[in-house]
Chains A and B, each alone.
Chain A
Amino acid sequence: MNRRAALRNMALIMGGAIILPSCLHDDKGKAVVKLNNLTVDAEQEKIVNSLTETILPKTDTPGAAELGINLFVFKMIDDCAGKEQQADFITGLNKFADAAKQKMGKPFVDSTDKERAAFVSSVEKLGKDKNYKDDSKLMAFYQMVKGQTVFGYTTSKYFMTKQVVYELVPGRYNAMFPASKATV
């Protein structure tokens, strides 16, 4: 174990309260996902991957990872979000990680599916609370991930061919169509 890793572990043991000097960030490892504008390390990447899978888990139908939704979320934040949103994304991501750890006593990615689902549900619920003030950008981060997960999923090939079928070529316009016959 090298000195940096030892320091980092010590920091983790102390509850993550210590802000690590930036020179240590290299040691967290590079993210696998290729990004142009956003900088995330391997740990942050894992949190986002895990969060998208928690929002959209594999059940008897495919989940986020199987459909590549996690990669889509990164691509959208990287390419389509503005600088300010991207900054909020990173700030909020870190807050999300901290809050998860605080609540569950271990990192988000090391928690069980059930623990993760419970935590994310509580965040989802908080988002509906009109009095909640998102000073930490945690909610901004969560809603970006949730929004892009839903968008990526509902515009995925799987969803648009197996769930709610999208027709590229309808070949018809029935202006007066009985609602009872609508195949929605």
Chain B
Amino acid sequence: MANLNIDSIKDRTFDAIVIGSGISGGWAAKEFTGKGLKTLVLERGRDVKHLKDYPTTNLYPWEFPHHGVVPDGIQKANPIVNRCYAFGEDAMHFFVKDAEHPYVQEKPFDWIRGYQTGGKSLLWARQTQRWSNFDFEGPARDGFAVDWPIRYEDIAPWYSYVEKFAGISGNRDGLAELPDGEFLPPFPLNAVETYFSNHVKKNYKNRHVISARCAHLSKPNQIHLDQGRGQCQERTLCQRGCPFGGYFSSNSSTIPWALKTGLCSLRPHSVVESIIYDDKKGKATGVRVIDANTKEAIEYYAPVIFVNAAALNSNLILLNSKSQRFPNGLGNDSGTLGKYIAFHNYSAHMNAEYDGAKEWTTDGRNPAGGGYIPRFRNVYKQETNFLRGYAAGLYAYRGHIQSSDGIGQELKDNLARKELGGWSVGSHMMGETIPKESNFVTLDNSLKDPWGIPQLRISVDYDDNDEKMKKDYIEQMTEMFTSAGFTNIQTFTDHRAPGLDIHEMGGVRMGKDPKTSMLDKWHRLHACPNVYVTDGASMTSTSCQNPSLTYMAFTARAVDHAVSELKKGNV
């Protein structure tokens, strides 16, 4: 251990510690430093600086050794991460390789991770929708999990707060199930998406096809320019890191903003082993870090600690933070730590064709990806044989006919002749899953990772509700596609492992009752209130909206609370 003299301890003491620099950790860093607190941000991976550390961002396809294809050896060595849609030759350096960070799959689980400054915020699909009270009231109404200790009204101002800074493009659609936000102009629907949207509106009550809302600067405001970010240039190469800062990531936005205050210390290569709980003081006093390179253990101290390590790693850290007071993991009086893990069901999609709108095509590329169908099942009341529902992506595109028939001049002519093809239509399912005690993570008793930390055992699976919901998605979308006159409708269901949705949530859930939950309505551990968890681990239920925007809002709200508690001397 490093010098334990008083100066050294002083050097390692901060006003706040944030574990993780991803989408929620970045927000914690920005908020704490913005409120004048000296903040330490611990990142287990390497540092990735905006612009400087995006090695592939300006490369043309031919500048990649394999023109974008991941070599077979890398694919074979990384069966898990290789299943992620964004794991290509252009972005594979931002993904955790399977062998480097082992975990135990009691049941198949594709744990997709990005260990670097910014975490997965560099790589995300940037879809950002607010939750509504249909989501926050879901568990109480439908009798699963526990009641959320908050409602939409608690979080709405914080949605507005983070949306303004992050920059969210979208249309004010006026839907109760998908509240409007502080939007930059939307990326509009194209001809066939618009046609389908009108068709659905006319023929189906309470079903809508809207422009996908996403964290792209369609038209930046001053606050975005102040961050050094510019207008989205519709490259749709986001996973490489954006040279324009056109989409929101910790790297382009919150982390540099925090660093600019001079109050933020970002320490990469810092694997958090545990949170230190002082039995005498009755609170957490700091964190124990293993330097990823030297494997040296170092302790850092602060009166308030934010856990933003990404859902499952936040579980791991708390499970591994054992003390006399908390032998089963920090704050785990309820015994619920690591349990009630849930995710999003992405295991179905559809394709079809549309023989119309021939006079239209698109020009350029759509960073929003197309349209979005908010949940329409069981919204106002229970009406199917499964609980909850699903959202769906909806996109139409007009491809080109390019034949690779023949050889010689004939082949060259075929390849150079680009004719507009017909319209293709696609959709994918995003289903809410029900958190259950039987879906859990624990620490392995003997297996350790290369830093001497117990490996996480993951035991998460689909259930009958997911199967029924998947069937319904296929049926409903098929009917909607058919009635819209789409042809050659193809439905696909797969048996992908949970995790590939990259929306794993829960394990440190919020709740009103300390006996059945881990966190209170401010995201504090009931039993150790100077530790906050504001990432996916805190989720009581999953909704079917993409979760990242909600993590951002939760985090900003929780920091505001933590700082006011500090000022009151309550922490």
The answer to whether B409 and A59 touch across the interface, beta carbons within 8 angstroms, is yes
Question: Which of A55, A124, A151, A174 is in CB contact (< 8 Å) with B364?
Answer: A174
Does chain A have a CB within 8 A of B73? yes
Does chain A have a CB within 8 A of B260? no
Does chain B have a CB within 8 A of A153? yes
Contacts of B404 in A (CB 8 A): 146, 150
Contacts of B235 in A (CB 8 A): 168-170
The answer to whether A79 and B415 touch across the interface, beta carbons within 8 angstroms, is no
Contacts of A54 in B (CB 8 A): 407-408
Does chain B have a CB within 8 A of A31? no
The answer to whether B358 and A155 touch across the interface, beta carbons within 8 angstroms, is no
A124 to B404, CA, bound (A): 11
Does chain A have a CB within 8 A of B380? no
Write the nearest CB–CB distance from A80 to chain B, whole angstroms.
5
The answer to whether A80 and B69 touch across the interface, beta carbons within 8 angstroms, is yes
1/0 contact string of B367-385 vs chain A (CB within 8 Å): 1000000000000000000
The answer to whether B359 and A179 touch across the interface, beta carbons within 8 angstroms, is yes
The answer to whether B366 and A179 touch across the interface, beta carbons within 8 angstroms, is no
Write the nearest CB–CB distance from A40 to chain B, whole angstroms.
17
Write the nearest CB–CB distance from A17 to chain B, whole angstroms.
29
Contacts of B412 in A (CB 8 A): 56, 59, 61
The answer to whether A182 and B420 touch across the interface, beta carbons within 8 angstroms, is yes
1/0 contact string of B330-351 vs chain A (CB within 8 Å): 0000000000000000000000
The answer to whether A151 and B362 touch across the interface, beta carbons within 8 angstroms, is no
A37 to B70, CA, bound (A): 15
The answer to whether A179 and B234 touch across the interface, beta carbons within 8 angstroms, is no
Does chain B have a CB within 8 A of A47? no
The answer to whether B415 and A170 touch across the interface, beta carbons within 8 angstroms, is no
Write the nearest CB–CB distance from B453 to chain A, whole angstroms.
34
Closest residue of B by beta carbon distance from A76: B66
Does chain B have a CB within 8 A of A111? no
Contacts of A174 in B (CB 8 A): 362-364
The answer to whether A75 and B66 touch across the interface, beta carbons within 8 angstroms, is yes
Write the nearest CB–CB distance from A169 to chain B, whole angstroms.
5
Closest residue of B by beta carbon distance from A72: B67
Question: Which of A72, A76, A156, A173 is in CB contact (< 8 Å) with B367?
Answer: A173
Does chain B have a CB within 8 A of A35? no
A124 to B410, CA, bound (A): 12
Does chain B have a CB within 8 A of A39? no
Binding site of B, secondary structure by majority: helix, strand, loop or mixed?
A: loop
A117 to B419, CA, bound (A): 27
Write the nearest CB–CB distance from B117 to chain A, whole angstroms.
25
Stretch at the interface among A89-97, A100-108, A130-138, A159-167: A159-167
A80 to B72, CA, bound (A): 4
Contacts of A154 in B (CB 8 A): 402, 415
A175 to B197, CA, bound (A): 14
The answer to whether A157 and B60 touch across the interface, beta carbons within 8 angstroms, is yes
A55 to B419, CA, bound (A): 22
Closest residue of A by beta carbon distance from B406: A124
Q: A152-B67, A170-B233, A170-B365 are in contact. Are A163 and B72 (CB under 8 A)?
A: no
Stretch at the interface among B183-191, B295-303, B477-485: B183-191
Question: Which of B65, B359, B406 is in CB contact (< 8 Å) with A178?
Answer: B359
Contacts of B194 in A (CB 8 A): 176
Write the nearest CB–CB distance from B459 to chain A, whole angstroms.
32
Does chain A have a CB within 8 A of B571? no
Contacts of B407 in A (CB 8 A): 54-56, 117, 120-121, 124
Does chain B have a CB within 8 A of A171? yes
Write the nearest CB–CB distance from A119 to chain B, whole angstroms.
10
Question: Which of A55, A59, A173 is in CB contact (< 8 Å) with B365?
Answer: A173
A56 to B411, CA, bound (A): 8
Closest residue of A by beta carbon distance from B218: A173
Closest residue of A by beta carbon distance from B76: A82
Does chain B have a CB within 8 A of A2? no
1/0 contact string of B258-272 vs chain A (CB within 8 Å): 000000000000000
The answer to whether B360 and A176 touch across the interface, beta carbons within 8 angstroms, is yes
Question: Which of A117, A146, A184 is in CB contact (< 8 Å) with B400?
Answer: A184
Question: Which of A59, A80, A157 is in CB contact (< 8 Å) with B71?
Answer: A80
Taking each of A76, A120, A166, which has the highest tally of chain B beta carbons within 10 Å of its own beta carbon?
A76
A80 to B71, CA, bound (A): 4
Does chain A have a CB within 8 A of B546? no
Question: Which of A55, A75, A175, A180 is in CB contact (< 8 Å) with B411?
Answer: A55
Write the nearest CB–CB distance from B231 to chain A, whole angstroms.
8
Write the nearest CB–CB distance from B3 to chain A, whole angstroms.
48
Give residues of chain B (460-507) contacting chain A, Cβ–Cβ below 8 Å. Answer: none
Contacts of B361 in A (CB 8 A): 177-179, 182
Does chain A have a CB within 8 A of B61? yes
Question: Which of B234, B360, B406 is in CB contact (< 8 Å) with A170?
Answer: B234
The answer to whether B71 and A79 touch across the interface, beta carbons within 8 angstroms, is yes
The answer to whether B363 and A155 touch across the interface, beta carbons within 8 angstroms, is no
Contacts of B237 in A (CB 8 A): 168
Question: Which of B61, B189, B190 is in CB contact (< 8 Å) with A155?
Answer: B61
A120 to B366, CA, bound (A): 41
* Extra 11 A-B pairs, beta carbons < 8 Å, given A169-B235, A173-B234, A177-B362: A54-B408, A56-B412, A72-B67, A79-B66, A80-B71, A80-B72, A117-B407, A150-B404, A159-B415, A168-B235, A175-B191
Q: Mark A residues whose CB is within 8 Å of B.
A: 37, 54-57, 59, 61, 72, 75-76, 79-82, 117, 120-121, 124, 146, 150-157, 159-160, 163-164, 166, 168-180, 182, 184
14 contacts between A and B (CB under 8 A): A56-B411, A59-B408, A75-B65, A80-B70, A82-B72, A117-B408, A155-B67, A159-B415, A168-B60, A170-B365, A171-B364, A176-B362, A177-B361, A182-B363
Q: Which A-B residue pairs are the 7 nearest by beta carbons?
A: A184-B418, A177-B363, A174-B363, A172-B364, A173-B364, A175-B188, A170-B364
